Structure 1
Amino acid sequence: MSAKLLGKVVLITGASSGLGEEIAYESAKKQATLVLCARNINKLQRVADVCHSLSKQPVYVISLDISNYDSVMKAIAVVKETVCHVDILVNNAGVGLFTNFLDMSYEDMKKMMSVNVLGLMTLTQHIALMMAKVGSGHIINIASQAGKMATPKSSVYSASKFAVIGFSNALRLEVKPLGIKVTTINPGPIKTNFFETADPTGNYLENIGKMAIEPAYLARKIVSIYGKSKREINTPFIMEMGSIGYHLFPKLGDYLAGSLFNKK
């Protein structure tokens, strides 16, 4: 058990399952004070109980629908009342749907942009203002390799993650003079229940095989860079090389995106 984060407050969105749950456990192992946010309070409380048993530190549970502005503002008010400040913000909440754009409904488009972009930005702005007052903090945004290399059936999801990466890159420069760090996490597919919504058929995870990332592994990598000036984490290696090639050689990139990396 490491006390590396003792006295530090870590806020994690989408903490009730998947990657967010694993990030919570890894943060608890380093004795962080946790603020866990998600829509499902019952699942969130289960995660909180495990975290408390690991850290013996305070763990706060806050109901949050990141797509709803009023819910975000209520959550921010609770944060201010309970912990007063946040040292590390992990914007993990996200949603995706893999389908042809021409078949996608407006509601599905709105949901992805509201959760992945607008909700993230709203929460980040208010937490960053809190960080600026004390002159320190670390914002970690979970984007995606889909935000670097778009593939068929991910047009809106990719657009939302391109937005997160662009937002993060500009924000990093804006808040650096205020003592705040910004890191973007760009993972490929992660073995979580994210794909229960994104791809109910289950074919995608089966098709990509060993390229799928274990959430506990990625969580350890993320927690290890808390407080460090790390610009990005990109994984897996093969997808990162693909995204680099995509930008250096656009025509070849389109071919790879439509063939080798098109597993949906």
Structure 2
Amino acid sequence: MENNITNKVIVITGASSGLGEETAKYLAKKGAMVVLGARREDRLEKIVSEITSEGGKAVYKATDVTVKSQVQALIDLALSTYNRIDVVINNAGIMPIAPISEVRTDEWDQMIDINIKGVLYGIAAALPIFQEQQSGHFINLGSVAGIKVFSPGGTVYSGTKYAVRAITDGLRHEIGGNIRATTIEPGAVDSELKFSTNHEESSKGVKEFYQIAIPAASVARAIAFAIEQPADVDINEIVMRPTQQEF
């Protein structure tokens, strides 16, 4: 019996490590055909090799989500390889934590470009295809920091994740019909995200906080849950935290 993931074509950004990598491997084992994008081509090549050596189907393309044409090229690869796209997982993100009084505008720009515009570029590239197919599913990675401001130091990061939540909910309202939209909002998860911070004091605090982190595979299972629902069920939002996480 099919699990409603088998043979689905799933595009994943930020797929070279952490949540993206674990999700790609998990969905491939469930029979999905995964299309992976990230900046580190060597990592993508290794992950695709691992998936295909175990009988899975996967392709990749080096992709910087801050460059609209590269996101479009990733979507085009999925379409040219598999003739359709069923799910786009906008996962790429960074989390450089620092007090707002530090006025690190370069880091703010990076977060806006990756965490917000990267999601929008993924939507822009795939939405016309979903509309033509009259089916599709956007899964956007938010954060519990998009529900409650992560403080101190996470004001701008939280702002970007609030934006992801708003964009996904607005997308659901606007497109409706057979196109689904889900926000996944994890708390502390073991990934490279905790290494995004260069501010010394904030970095120490983040690493201490992340000692309670749950495995990235936990998020992969939540993503799979949203995908495998029948076509008439739209899981709008999943919020998940380590049991020890208070905020």
Q: What's the TM-score once normalised by structure 2's chain length?
A: 0.89
* Counterpart Cα distance in 2 of 1:237 and 1:74: 36
Asked if the contact 2:189–2:210 (Cα under 8 Å) also holds between the matched residues in 1, the reply is no
Asked if the contact 1:12–1:89 (Cα under 8 Å) also holds between the matched residues in 2, the reply is yes
The alpha-carbon distance between structure 1 residues 156 and 101, as it changes in their structure 2 partners (threshold 3 A), is same
Asked if the contact 1:4–1:31 (Cα under 8 Å) also holds between the matched residues in 2, the reply is no
Number of matched residues?
Answer: 239
The alpha-carbon distance between structure 1 residues 204 and 167, as it changes in their structure 2 partners (threshold 3 A), is same
Q: Which 4+ residue blocks in structure 1 deviate beyond 6 angstroms? A: 237-240
Give the match's secondary structure for 2:22: helix
Give the match's secondary structure for 1:216: helix
Q: CA deviation at 1:84?
A: 3.1
Which digits, 9 at most, give the CA deviation of each residue in 1:154-213, with x for residues without a partner? 111111101000000110111222x10101011112111111113674432323543x22
Counterpart residue number, 2:31? 31
Give the match's secondary structure for 1:116: helix
The alpha-carbon distance between structure 1 residues 238 and 59, as it changes in their structure 2 partners (threshold 3 A), is closer
Asked if the contact 1:131–1:137 (Cα under 8 Å) also holds between the matched residues in 2, the reply is yes
Which digits, 9 at most, give the CA deviation of each residue in 1:58-90, with x for residues without a partner? 311111100122322333333333233210111
Structure of greater relative contact order (alpha carbons < 8 Å, 6+ residues apart): 2
Larger radius of gyration between Structure 1 and Structure 2: 1
Counterpart residue number, 1:121? 120
Listed as ranges, the gaps of 5+ residues in structure 1 are 243-260
The alpha-carbon distance between structure 1 residues 192 and 27, as it changes in their structure 2 partners (threshold 3 A), is same
Letter in structure 2 aligned against 1:113: I
Letter in structure 2 aligned against 1:194: L
Which digits, 9 at most, give the CA deviation of each residue in 1:209-254, with x for residues without a partner? 43x22111221121122043111110117699x7xxxxxxxxxxxx
Structure 1 residues 81-230: aligned runs within 5 Å: 81-150=80-149, 151-177=151-177, 179-198=178-197, 201-207=203-209, 209-210=211-212, 212-228=213-229, 229-230=234-235
Asked if the contact 1:196–1:202 (Cα under 8 Å) also holds between the matched residues in 2, the reply is no
* Counterpart Cα distance in 2 of 1:70 and 1:58: 25
Which digits, 9 at most, give the CA deviation of each residue in 1:33-79, with x for residues without a partner? 1100000010011111122233x243111111001223223333333
Percent identical pairs in the alignment equals 30
* Counterpart Cα distance in 1 of 2:56 and 2:211: 38
* Counterpart Cα distance in 1 of 2:242 and 2:191: 19
* Counterpart Cα distance in 2 of 1:198 and 1:2: 42
Listed as ranges, the gaps of 5+ residues in structure 2 are none
* Counterpart Cα distance in 1 of 2:122 and 2:156: 21
Give the match's secondary structure for 2:176: helix
The structure with the greater share of residues assigned to helix is: 1
Q: Which moved more, 1:86-95 or 1:201-210?
A: 201-210
Asked if the contact 1:138–1:227 (Cα under 8 Å) also holds between the matched residues in 2, the reply is no
What do you get for the CA RMSD once the two structures are aligned? Answer: 2.2
Q: CA deviation at 1:101?
A: 1.1
* Counterpart Cα distance in 1 of 2:210 and 2:175: 37
